[in-house]
Structure 1
Amino acid sequence: MVAVQDPHSRPQPRQGWGGRDPDATLQAPEIPVIDIGALGFTDEPDSGQAVAQAIGRACQEIGFFYVVNHGVPQDLREQVFVEAKRFFALPLEEKLKIPATRDHYRGYLALQSKGYANGKGDFFEGFKMQLDLGPEDPDVRAGKPLHAPNKWPENLPGFRETLLTYQAAMHELADRIAQGFALALGVDRYFFRPFFQKPLTQLSLMHYPPQPPETLGDYFGVHPHSDTGAFTILMQDETGGLEVGHRSGEWVSAPPIPDTYLINIGDMMARWTNDRFTSTPHRVINRANQNRISVPFFVNPDYDAVVECIPTCQSATVPARYPATHVGDYILGVYTSGWQGEEGFQKESTSLV
């Protein structure tokens, strides 16, 4: 029997990180930009070692880093933003035809669908997709939790095809970055591959409407949190609004940088590494007087994977801090918590302006 970590027992923000400071404007020069061009294209033992060392430092110091030379075509990235805007511009009644629910967490997530301790849902709407499993997939037929077909909008030609192409590119990039993590931790470069055979990876499109100034002290675009899975690959537009918990207890900006992805460590990687790699709290507040679009790719392992402390991250004097964690149970607990109201929807217009 695997001892499963309580899904609500997550890394806690340090004092000061939970505050709602509407004027946080500090920049984050300590978030490095790392060229990963040498990583993941060869099996040579020394290939990518310098890149891995830079990744390791960033993961231990702040848990965030940007990557360049990532290999994802610019035209594909631009088309994803086009498709996101097309989807969110649909009438609300069209989007609500494919609702994401507790039991089937794919499709449209309406504005403020999820509520938290303050009783106010996060100020974004989203589209969620995972592996594109058909009705004949054995796990779908068996009713296995978190295994279900995606929900796709009608009369939006090209939307599904673009997102599936981008999802495939994200899986390739995630594998390269995971090799960097493994090398930084002193294990085989393909250590993480067996945990991602049929992963619970999630691609999200997220639209943050402009927040009126009077709401900045009461509402978050996304409340302070740490991510659930191993790590996240974020593509964001030029609007900004993402803020990272700094060691000083302040919030600092993680602004968009052209032609980069922003990577951050999640709870699963923190458990794998005994907190050597930091799962850092972060939040979103859309202070700009314009819509914000972001596209996070959450790199979650397989449902039946069990995450245990990597041998190189523990010793007689530094024992494992976490029990073995069943990935599916942990993620299911997170996905099904925090819904706002019985239906989980606040049916308000969120059309793009």
Structure 2
Amino acid sequence: MTTLPQISLAKLAADATRHEERERLRLACEEYGFFYLEHGIPKKQIAEAIQASRRFFTLPQSTKERYGHATQDVYPATARGYSPLYGEVLHPEAGPDPKEMFDLGIEKEGDRRPFAGCTRLPDDAVAPGFARSLLALQATVINEVVPQLGMALADLLELEESWFRRHFSAPTVLQRVIRYPSSGGTAGKHTDNGFFTLLLQEELPTRSLQVWFGERWVPAPSLPDTLVVNLGDMLQALSDNRFKSTPHQVVHTGPTDRISLPFFIYPDIDACLTSRQGKQTFSVAEVMLRNFESIWETRDGAGRARELQ
């Protein structure tokens, strides 16, 4: 059982159910900052991405490191490619997390802006189906999930009708594949600093993802045909703190490795946003770059990690 709300993307879109479902979404955003979303993504597409990712992580370490941060022609380099165990710091007291990852984004050749450009990905000869399945899943998420959810959130904040189209016509997406090793993979407690995060989890009996709610850690297990949505610091700021960006962590104690497929969703990298009441103004690029500096350089953690004891 879980206490997190469950929202239907189809009901958000349908005329007959839109009003009631958006009210449920509003309550989820204001009280929890986390919820399940019934998404409609084909199960086969998700399974193929998970299976290809699992195969990639079984490759020799030297092969995986051929696609590491140092090989990526993007800025910052830590935004793309392979990262080994104990590479990322999400909470300073916890130190580097025992998990390995591969990051990619929207592939746009020649785009030299931060968090843009092309990822150096393994081809099918090295990692069969890895690039193809992940990019196909990315296209589905960006085209079929992000617009519907994003427009509903913008509507709840009473932003003008064109707001979402203007700032998300070319969203910034950090797509990640994570392997948490059996009996000990973790992600330190933190908040996400973006607009919202979409998480596809393997359907495992272990309840590894934990959400801070009601002064305790609440498990958020995988539920069939849903993904987990959590709101980020950027959306909390845009809402003048009406919506919650909730701390969370991963503690994986299961007997098998765990594959996790998060999508960190941000507005256009060139956007400068002002909150509904004009209390906060911020540059998307500056917020993202500060967060990456805190994670990878100063090792102070992600989002509001330093505020979390």
TM-score higher than 0.5: yes
Distance 1:157 1:341 in 2: 36
What residue in structure 2 maps to residue 52 of structure 1? 22
Question: Where does residue 200 of structure 2 map in the other structure?
Answer: 235
Structure-2 change in CA distance of 1:189 and 1:72 (3 Å): farther
Post-superposition Cα deviations, 1:93-115, rounded to whole Å, max 9, x if no partner, equal 11101112573120101111023
Give the structure with the higher percent strand: 2
In the alignment, which residue of structure 1 is the partner of 2:31?
A: 61
> Is the 8 Å Cα contact of residues 107 and 128 (structure 1) preserved in structure 2?
yes
Deviations, residues 247-292 of structure 1 (Å, cap 9, x unaligned) = 3x21111111111111110011101101111000000011222211
Amino acid at match of 2:98: F
1:151 Cα shift? 1.8
Aligned equivalent of 1:117, options 92, 110, 120: 92
Mapped contact 1:103–1:336 kept (Cα < 8 A)? no
CA distance in 2, matches of 1:125, 1:189: 40
In structure 1, the partner of 2:8 is: 35
2 CA distance for matches of 1:177 and 1:209?
A: 32
CA distance in 1, matches of 2:133, 2:162: 28
Q: Residue 329 in 1 paired to residue 286 in 2?
A: yes
Asked if the contact 1:129/1:203 (under 8 Å) is kept, the reply is yes
Match of 1:153 among 96, 112, 122: 122
Q: Which residue of 1 aligns with 2:303?
A: none
Q: Which of 226, 234, 251 is matched with 1:268 structurally?
A: 234
CA distance in 2, matches of 1:96, 1:288: 26
1:225 aligned to which of 190, 193, 200: 190
Deviations 1:114-142 (A, max 9, x none): 235237201111110011122xx2x32xx
**Match 1:200 to one of 172, 179, 182:** 172
Q: How does 1:1-353 map to 2 (within 5 A)?
A: 28-29=2-3, 31-40=4-13, 48-68=18-38, 70-100=39-69, 103-104=76-77, 105-115=79-89, 116-118=91-93, 120-134=95-109, 137=110, 139-140=111-112, 144-154=113-123, 155-172=126-143, 173-188=145-160, 191-212=163-184, 221-237=186-202, 238=204, 239-247=206-214, 249-310=215-276, 314=277, 320=279, 323-339=280-296
2 CA distance for matches of 1:37 and 1:204?
Answer: 26
Query: How far apart, in 1, do the equivalents of 2:169 and 2:69 lie?
Result: 24
CA deviation after TM superposition for structure 1 residue 71, in Å: 2.2
Highest relative contact order (Cα 8 Å, sep 6+), 1 or 2?
1
Deviation at residue 188 of structure 1 after TM alignment: 4.5
- Name the CA shift for 1:229/1:274 in 2 (closer, same or farther; >3 Å): same
Which residue identity does 1:118 align to in structure 2? E
Measured on the aligned residues, the alpha-carbon RMSD in Å equals 2.2
Return the letter of the residue paired with 1:338: I
Deviation at 1:51, TM superposition (A): 1.6
Cα displacement (A) at 1:246: 1.1
- Contact between 1:207 and 1:293, CA under 8 Å: does it hold in 2? yes
- 2:68 partner amino acid: P
Does the 8 Å contact 1:123/1:221 carry over to 2? yes
Q: 1:97 to 1:341 in 2, by over 3 A?
A: farther
- Larger helix share, 1 or 2: 2
Return closer, same or farther for 1:163/1:74 CA change in 2, 3 Å cut-off. same
| Pair member with larger Rg | 1
Distance 1:253 1:35, change over 3 A: same
Q: Quick one: distance in 2 between partners of 1:125 and 1:153?
A: 16
Residues 341, 303 of structure 1: CA spacing in aligned structure 2 closer, same or farther, 3 A cutoff? closer
Q: Does structure 2 conserve the Cα–Cα contact (< 8 Å) formed by 1:39 and 1:179?
A: no
Taking every aligned residue pair, what percent have the same amino acid on both sides? 30
Cα separation, partners in 2 of 1:37 and 1:341, compared to 1, 3 Å: closer
Alpha-carbon offset, residue 34 of structure 1: 1.5
Matching residue's letter, 1:226: T
